[in-house]
């Protein structure tokens, strides 16, 4: 066996080990998070099932009425426990990184685990709470630096640890704001910074390393290219965006 083939085999085994460990830790951590989130619901239902109501019809009615609140309770606990887990494990989007996908290095795999955690909360709780103060609180707990009265009515906001929003920022429905992009086999990360009172219209895409000054308005269905610097007090629209005023 040549030295090159031996090195290649070692590298492949390392990659397999990293991917396997990543999958196992995702299952363990997310299983624990979901299990703990559902625990209050199970305790509630254990009390309900043991309740001796006046008649079977009344018990059935109570059980039916408690289905929706039980799901809400699970979703609320999930939004609190998932950020705690990602903080304890250190799973975050690394700042200003160029991560080669083929290498499957630990920073990339930590980012993958962070994104999985975000997706799980988005799937189970996002449709219920997006646009609400609870959704803003979840984003803040999960690493986003948000000011006061921030309104995020979108589930396409990711890489929370790379987001910095000022006060009174409004993110419209289906806006895509991300702290990462994939180019030429690399996952590239960079922050997104929005000043006070920035508004982004529905369906707009905001790429990495974008900064918008205070009172900047970005119209609906627009594209803000990466590395853009948008002036405060101005209005931008288009693909790519251009200044109107």
> How much is the average pLDDT of 157-178?
97
pLDDT of residue 7: 54
3-state secondary structure the chain: CCHHHHHHHHHHHHHHHHHHHHHHHHHHHHHHHHHHHHHHHHHHHHHHHCCCCCCHHHHHHHHHHCHHHHHHHHHHHHHHHHHHHHHHHCCCCCCCCEEEHHHCCHHHHHHHHHHHHHHHHHHHHHHHHCCCHHHHHHHHHCCCEECCCCEECCCCECCHHHEEECCCCEECCCCEECCEEEECCEEEECCEEECCCCEECCCCEECCCEEECCCCEECCCCEECCCCEECCCCEEECCCCEECC
CATH 3.40.350.10 correct for 144-245: no
Rounding to the nearest 10 degrees, give the CA dihedral for residues 115, 119, 125, 126.
Answer: 90
pLDDT of residue 70: 96
CA distance 189 to 182: 9
CA distance 33 to 25: 12
CA distance 221 to 157: 15
pTM of the predicted protein model: 0.91
pLDDT at residue 27 greater than cutoff 80 = yes
Whether the bond into 240 is cis, omega within 30 of 0: yes
Nearest to 76 by CA among 26, 164, 138, 23: 138
Nearest to 157 by CA among 172, 141, 168: 172
Parse the chain into domains and list their residue ranges.
1-130, 144-245
Q: 3-12, 114-123, 145-154, 165-174: which has the minimum mean pLDDT?
A: 3-12
Place of tokens 């803040």: 140
**Per-residue model confidence as pLDDT tens digits over 61-106:** 988 999 999 999 999 999 999 999 999 999 999 999 999 999 999 9
pLDDT of residue 1: 47
pLDDT of residue 55: 83
Place of tokens 């921030």: 150
**Per-residue model confidence as pLDDT tens digits over 29-72:** 999 999 999 999 999 999 888 877 778 888 889 889 999 999 99
Reported confidence tier of residue 245, pLDDT bands at 50, 70, 90:
confident
**Per-residue model confidence as pLDDT tens digits over 189-234:** 999 999 999 999 999 999 999 999 999 999 999 999 999 999 999 9
> Average pLDDT over the chain, rounded to whole?
93
């Amino acid at each position: 066996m040549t030295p090159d083939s031996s090195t290649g085999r070692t590298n492949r085994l390392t990659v397999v080990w990293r991917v396997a460990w990543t999958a196992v830790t995702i299952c363990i951590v997310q299983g624990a998070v979901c299990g703990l989130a559902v625990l209050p619901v199970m305790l509630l239902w254990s009390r309900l099932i043991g309740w001796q109501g006046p008649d079977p019809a009344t018990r059935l009615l109570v059980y039916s009425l408690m289905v929706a609140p039980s799901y809400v309770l699970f979703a609320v606990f999930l939004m609190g426990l998932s950020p705690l887990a990602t903080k304890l494990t250190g799973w975050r989007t690394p700042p200003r990184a160029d991560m080669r996908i083929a290498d499957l290095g630990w920073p990339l795999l930590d980012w993958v685990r962070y994104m999985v955690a975000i997706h799980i909360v988005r799937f189970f709780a996002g449709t219920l709470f997006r646009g609400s103060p609870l959704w803003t609180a979840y984003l803040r707990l999960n690493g986003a630096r948000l000011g006061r009265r921030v309104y995020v009515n979108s589930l396409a906001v990711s890489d929370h640890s790379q987001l910095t929003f000022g006060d009174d920022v409004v993110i419209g429905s289906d806006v895509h704001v991300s702290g990462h992009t994939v180019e030429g086999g690399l996952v590239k990360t960079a922050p997104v910074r929005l000043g006070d009172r920035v508004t982004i219209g529905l369906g707009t895409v905001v790429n990495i390393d974008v900064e918008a000054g205070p009172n900047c308005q970005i119209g609906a269905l627009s594209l803000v290219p990466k590395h853009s610097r948008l002036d405060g007090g101005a209005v931008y629209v288009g693909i790519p965006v251009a200044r109107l005023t």
